[in-house]
Amino acid sequence: MGENVSIKELINELKLKDFTPGIDTESIIIKHPEINRPALQLAGFFDHFDSERVQVLGNVENAYIQTIDESTKKKTYDKLLSYKVPCVLYARGIEPDEDMLSYCLHYGVPCLGTEQSTTYLTAELIRWLNVKLAPVISIHGVLVDVYGEGVLITGDSGIGKSEAALELVKRGHRLVSDDVVEIRKVSQQTLVGTAPDITKHFIELRGIGIIDVKALFGVLSVKDTQSIDLVIQLEDWVQNKDYDRLGLEDNYIEYLGNKVVCHVLPVRPGRNLAIIVETAAVNHRQKMMGYNAAQELYNRVQANIAGKD
């Protein structure tokens, strides 16, 4: 799984107000990327209660609280907070009443607030938590943003991945990570790659050593995160191996259950890897826009054959 997320990180990220500063928010961990609006729980229905989620209260929940008597409200607060939810978060500038604060302190549940609308808050909260709590793996490779396409270059150590990345940077593209790429599954369709903090913006070149890409080429040459749209696998040229020369059908590689288009690129002296990677990225984008050059060639051949019959 991805990183642990504490309530303190949540407060800092979304700039939330902390109504219970006496509670240690650094030790309380969020384990679920979804949120819950406890309208049914406030009405007394606790079956299937998602107590591991952040509990968000907006105008609807607050309006309902105003309609119930003091005794019922206290019993509801008591039961809700006895589940030790990660936190209670009020949207739209709503402030908790004294009873809520009292029970939050009793059970050690942080009570937070924000001026943001409930819809915006929940969307931003889910987006951020999905990234932070996403399943993550680390692989050996190089990730570069090429014309907006995230190209992950893999292959055996010393085959030329870093050299290709450096040439791409010199041609105006952006480095995300060299050597180690951390891949997160942020949705069923999207993988996002980042660099470990310790190696961010560095490239290792055998014979020269470590270079700082950001310092040498400027801030426009690097990027912190990038979706992974295409994988290029570099391998030594094998004389009699049957490499794909048309590209009618895409091949895929799987990371964390998500499939990504993958091309195997044979390496031999004289091949300009940077230009080939650039071309692969543009060709991939063209396919996503509905044009397939290989299919167009195939259609022309078929039409030519049909014309001779």
pLDDT band at 30, cuts 50/70/90?
very high
Kindly state whether residues 92 and 166 are assigned to the same domain: no
In a domain, 200, yes or no: yes
In a domain, 307, yes or no: no
Kindly state whether residues 149 and 288 are assigned to the same domain: yes
Q: What is the pLDDT of residue 309?
A: 62
Among residues 50, 78, 179, 250, the one annotated as catalytic is 179
Number of domains in the chain: 2
Identify the CATH number of the domain in which residue 94 sits: 3.40.1390.20
Give the list of residues 6+ apart from residue 197 with CB closer than 8 angstroms, or none: none
pLDDT band at 1, cuts 50/70/90?
low
Q: Residues 43-68: what's their mean pLDDT? A: 94
Kindly state whether residues 167 and 254 are assigned to the same domain: yes
Give the list of residues 6+ apart from residue 244 with CB closer than 8 angstroms, or none: 251, 263, 264
Kindly state whether residues 119 and 226 are assigned to the same domain: no
* Percent of the chain whose pLDDT exceeds 90: 76
pLDDT band at 228, cuts 50/70/90?
very high
Q: Which residues sit in the known binding site for ATP?
A: 155-162
- Residue-wise pLDDT tens digits, 229-263: 999 999 988 877 777 777 777 899 999 999 999 99
Which residue range forms the structural domain that includes residue 269?
Answer: 136-298
Q: Which residues sit in the known binding site?
A: 155-162, 204
Residue 8 appears among annotated catalytic residues = no
DSSP state, residue 172 = T
Kindly state whether residues 248 and 209 are assigned to the same domain: yes
**91-100, 173-182, 283-292: segment of lowest average pLDDT:** 283-292
Kindly state whether residues 259 and 244 are assigned to the same domain: yes
In a domain, 124, yes or no: yes
Q: Residues 266-286: what's their mean pLDDT? A: 89
Kindly state whether residues 189 and 171 are assigned to the same domain: yes
Nearest one of 113, 101, 99, 110 to 21, comparing CA atoms? 110
Chosen domain end from 91, 116, 132: 132
Residue 206 appears among annotated catalytic residues = no
- Give the global pTM: 0.76
In a domain, 216, yes or no: yes
pLDDT band at 54, cuts 50/70/90?
very high
Q: What is the pLDDT of residue 188?
A: 87
Higher pLDDT, 295 or 36: 36
Chosen domain end from 132, 147, 181: 132
Identify the CATH number of the domain in which residue 186 sits: 3.40.50.300
Kindly state whether residues 181 and 280 are assigned to the same domain: yes
Q: What is the pLDDT of residue 248?
A: 74
In a domain, 67, yes or no: yes
Distance CA 122, CA 14 (A): 11
Kindly state whether residues 35 and 111 are assigned to the same domain: yes
Among residues 53, 132, 161, 174, the one annotated as catalytic is 161
Residue 84 has pLDDT above 90, yes or no: yes
Kindly state whether residues 210 and 87 are assigned to the same domain: no
Chosen domain end from 79, 108, 132: 132
- Residue-wise pLDDT tens digits, 91-128: 999 999 999 999 999 999 999 999 999 999 999 999 99
Residue 140 appears among annotated catalytic residues = yes
Q: Residues 26-35: what's their mean pLDDT? A: 93
Among residues 140, 170, 206, 271, the one annotated as catalytic is 140
In a domain, 73, yes or no: yes
Kindly state whether residues 110 and 30 are assigned to the same domain: yes
In a domain, 112, yes or no: yes
In a domain, 146, yes or no: yes
Residue 161 appears among annotated catalytic residues = yes
Residue 13 has pLDDT above 90, yes or no: yes
Kindly state whether residues 120 and 200 are assigned to the same domain: no
Q: What is the pLDDT of residue 18?
A: 97
Computed over every residue of the chain, the mean pLDDT equals 92
Strands (E) located in 5-60: 5-6, 17-18, 29-30, 35-36, 54-57
